[in-house]
Structure 1
């Protein structure tokens, strides 16, 4: 139970760091996650917290590598295969040897096998970490493709070399030819096993789709379990489980078109699920770094007060050395990135060298070092973890500072203002055409409101603005009901019952907990004691629907039906007054908030009226409206008014809106 609690806290720390980054993205999210881990380290439960090393490879790395594989563009990978192979395998091996030899030379206490293990740990790059620090600069497309492809395979190269170094450290024996042969067996064998299992698993998933067993509850767990199964089977026969899951992920990417022959709902659920899982797992590793750093530093200081300074210097030196080797490798065309001239070649080499950011895989391998070796504590385990942390932090800081000075600022192809304007024009055109062709159909007004909400819900209205609107509409309902009571159209009892419904509408749509609590307290506590005894008794009776003395169940049911029929009649006039108010007070500044309020009242009106006969007409008209929006975008792209990028974003939003609206309506 304690382990579950600790893991949940790690996830909570990741969520908190991601939430902060969503509002303040000046600092890379990895630093925020490390900071969250440092805060967790203050909790006594985490002072001696350690996960089993195998968990990192099996649970974290295998899942991340599979996800990277299935999201890799096979076309780009095949086009740059030579460059990818040179960087991810040859350069990775050269870097491991240089880093290992340098470390062993500078710190003889590190055996050659241990130094090579350190080299294998800090060599892999992380495309996700690169993306987090390059969001505001324009990285050349060919350079970014190279970095993504490299990170996919140099992770595997590093892990294979790491396993060989650890095996040599444990056995105390190492043969060059045996090591090379074993490397190729593990490397190539992992790829072949992954390709075979990938085809088998994809065939199974396609069979489920053809059998129409493609619900999210089946396909999503099926896909999530894939990397675990592949890793377990590959490791069981002695080949690289990581390369196997990468190869299986690539097969999923190749077969992506066939795998998409399923419902839109499943596609959205699948994409969202993998995005969340990858984000959480990446974040957990950085949070764990923050959690572990204080303990690692404490152990190092207990052994030697100068150890921390020496290891910091070693980490910075190794980072500079790896960066310099990467630059030379590309500048002298040992790995080619197409460039127009020498200046562009030098710039690309410099950007790729600086973008050799180290992240999740480096940390995960450092944490996967054995806790013991031959029955004793693993030597220099804390040292290696600390050096890896220094390399990671340095590799994040340096490009964060230098890349903006080297590359131009990122220019958005489609701005938020352009997207909002285009969406407004699209919705307006669909509404106009719908009203012209269905002017006599009462369902048209309901569909129009939904489409208006589609436009208005784009953006984030101010909380205070939304609250004020709900307060104003509630006041309008109160005034309308008071007038109806004064005119003798509504009894006091029915008016009170209706205002309770109106209050619930405002209560459920308030944006903050304290606003909800305040309204609840005002209506249920203060209001309860301010009314007379007779009104309280009537309200309680209406709330609980208890039979009166001598009243049968049938009579109680008839009384409830009569009350709801009366409420439906009463609701017409306040609802019309609210709609008129919202229409007359709509401005460009408040249309998002107006749309939310209008949707809330329309939904309440539809449910309260009990009119579900028009549901089929509404569905059909919604489908027609969405098709009109598609046609509008096509015409705008055809006349060059909208760019292809803008059109694609609008298409994506329409698809999502169509799925959400139709599913929410059908759910009723």
Structure 2
């Protein structure tokens, strides 16, 4: 019962933190509010959440990484694939090696393998935290796509590096050749397992649906089980469960194209996954805040490992690590941008040197968040011989400090750097969207005509089918004329006015429904059905 109470209390804290973040008059990232609220909870109660590292990793990371892989724009990711790979793989390896040696040099008492493990967990970035920071100063779309792609891949690469570092710390040995071979198996098998599990599950689900129909609740539950199934199967064969969850999410996009679910299933599933993402990210930050008082209270004992007596040395180490991460990221982003410009010059593309604020903003956007905390909490509690894992509390303290400081720096500097920032021009997608709408409308007209003729031939009163089909086809023809026959500026103005009028009408309908329900002139079942129809219409015009 106590465990259930703790879970419910954490969920309540996530809800309250979201409300508080919106109430604050100035821009404060939601993760910072959640950390602060968690710290208040930790200070006001003697109960502590005992975190099992393996259980924590299993419950939080697979669904979050699966969803990131599922929702990331694939075409945008491929367009900037070279930049994303440079950041997600090259920068991670540079960070693990460079920061690992720096941390070990600063804190000789921390074994080199543990220092590499700490460097591995602070290497992944968190786009959720970046989005929260830049809520009032929107991040340019292309930059956000690059950050999302980087985060998706560097989560996996950083946690795979963590796995090797922990293994080296536990065994006391490390072989570069064996690690390379093991990496190929861990990464390759993990990717393949995620793909196969998703394809097999979606094919089986589609076969069952074709034969016996679709149940929305079951479809949603299957999507929730896929990341956990991929993770468990990959870990069972000693592959990377993290990469399996990522590849399962990416594959889900393509599997869904050929085996479409019902519209109501997709809408409800999206709502469920939005809630899960918000909840899991929120709980992670609340847990970080809840653990902070205990971590800080043990600072005197922790700092003794560093050879110092004053706890403020821990703050010095946190700032040094954040500065090192920022310097490495700035240098790598600058070099990556220069390489991109050189490649453009060789292809004859007139790429111009970009504003230094672009490099600075991309560097500051390397905020650490949920994945870093989840990763550091998975450090083993004990060695193979039963002795405590060396410097575990110190590593957790430093990782938590890096998260908080990077969030603070990002919340101050990122809006300043993004304000008025000129990004490289992006292709206009309005023509692409209009072309797709016209093609869809023309296909609908052809399908209605075929069905109209078939009904007219097989039934009496053919005029009924002709007139009804013509009315529906006229709606599609008006759409085609609106997209192709009028000036685009006029079309956009009329579209905005139509949307405004329709929303006003929908709100009036909703108000009348409420009055009829309160006056008991209609039943609750009728009100629920009509409200659902209004919700779908409003979602369409607000989308």
Q: Distance in 2 between matches of 1:246 and 1:281?
A: 17
Equivalent position to 2:386, from 375, 380, 384: 375
Equivalent position to 1:426, from 491, 494, 502: 502
Report the counterpart of residue 396 of structure 2 in structure 1. Answer: 385
Report the counterpart of residue 299 of structure 1 in structure 2. Answer: 298
Change (3 A) 1:356 1:179: same
Is 1:12 paired with 2:12? yes
Q: Distance in 2 between matches of 1:152 and 1:70?
A: 10
Report the counterpart of residue 158 of structure 1 in structure 2. Answer: 158
Q: Deviations over 1:395-415 (max 9, x none)?
A: 11112111222222699x9xx
Q: Distance in 1 between matches of 2:232 and 2:203?
A: 20
Change (3 A) 1:180 1:256: same
Q: Distance in 2 between matches of 1:225 and 1:335?
A: 43
Report the counterpart of residue 332 of structure 2 in structure 1. Answer: 329
Report the CA distance between 1:187 and its aligned residue: 1.6
Report the CA distance between 1:133 and its aligned residue: 0.7
Report the counterpart of residue 441 of structure 1 in structure 2. Answer: none
Report the counterpart of residue 652 of structure 1 in structure 2. Answer: 540
Q: Distance in 1 between matches of 2:154 and 2:203?
A: 28
Equivalent position to 1:360, from 355, 370, 377: 370
Q: Distance in 2 between matches of 1:190 and 1:262?
A: 27
Equivalent position to 2:317, from 292, 314, 319: 314
Report the counterpart of residue 264 of structure 1 in structure 2. Answer: 263
Change (3 A) 1:68 1:318: same
Q: Distance in 2 between matches of 1:427 and 1:2?
A: 47
Greater RCO between the two (CA within 8 Å, min separation 6)? 2
Q: Which segments of 5 or more consecutive residues in structure 2 lack a partner in the other structure?
A: 345-349, 423-429, 431-493
Which stretch shifts more, 301-310 or 357-366? 301-310
Is 1:404 paired with 2:415? yes
Change (3 A) 1:376 1:345: same
Q: Distance in 2 between matches of 1:120 and 1:301?
A: 25
Report the CA distance between 1:43 and its aligned residue: 4.6
Report the CA distance between 1:337 and its aligned residue: 5.8
Report the counterpart of residue 469 of structure 1 in structure 2. Answer: none
Report the CA distance between 1:189 and its aligned residue: 2.1
Report the CA distance between 1:258 and its aligned residue: 3.5
Contact 1:21/1:27, CA 8 A, preserved across alignment: yes
Q: Deviations over 1:385-430 (max 9, x none)?
A: 111111111211112111222222699x9xxxx99965442367xx
Q: Distance in 2 between matches of 1:213 and 1:240?
A: 35
What SS class does the counterpart of residue 377 from structure 1 fall into? coil
Report the CA distance between 1:604 and its aligned residue: 4.9
Contact 1:327/1:353, CA 8 A, preserved across alignment: yes
Q: Distance in 2 between matches of 1:22 and 1:115?
A: 38
Contact 2:27/2:136, CA 8 A, preserved across alignment: no
Change (3 A) 1:44 1:162: same
Report the counterpart of residue 101 of structure 1 in structure 2. Answer: 101
Report the counterpart of residue 482 of structure 1 in structure 2. Answer: none
Report the counterpart of residue 445 of structure 1 in structure 2. Answer: none
**TM-score, with structure 1 as normaliser:** 0.63
1:122-521 equivalences under 5 Å are 122-211=122-211, 213-259=213-259, 261-302=260-301, 304=304, 306=309, 308-333=311-336, 343-344=353-354, 346-373=356-383, 374-408=385-419, 423-426=499-502, 452=505, 454-456=506-508
Report the counterpart of residue 53 of structure 2 in structure 1. Answer: 53
What SS class does the counterpart of residue 50 from structure 1 fall into? coil
Contact 2:43/2:293, CA 8 A, preserved across alignment: no
What SS class does the counterpart of residue 178 from structure 1 fall into? helix
Change (3 A) 1:365 1:654: closer
**TM-score, with structure 2 as normaliser:** 0.77
Q: Distance in 2 between matches of 1:135 and 1:206?
A: 39
Q: Distance in 2 between matches of 1:43 and 1:230?
A: 39
Q: Which segments of 5 or more consecutive residues in structure 1 lack a partner in the other structure?
A: 429-451, 458-594, 630-649, 656-668
Aligned residues: 458
Q: Distance in 1 between matches of 2:115 and 2:330?
A: 23
Q: Distance in 2 between matches of 1:240 and 1:320?
A: 31
Change (3 A) 1:346 1:376: same
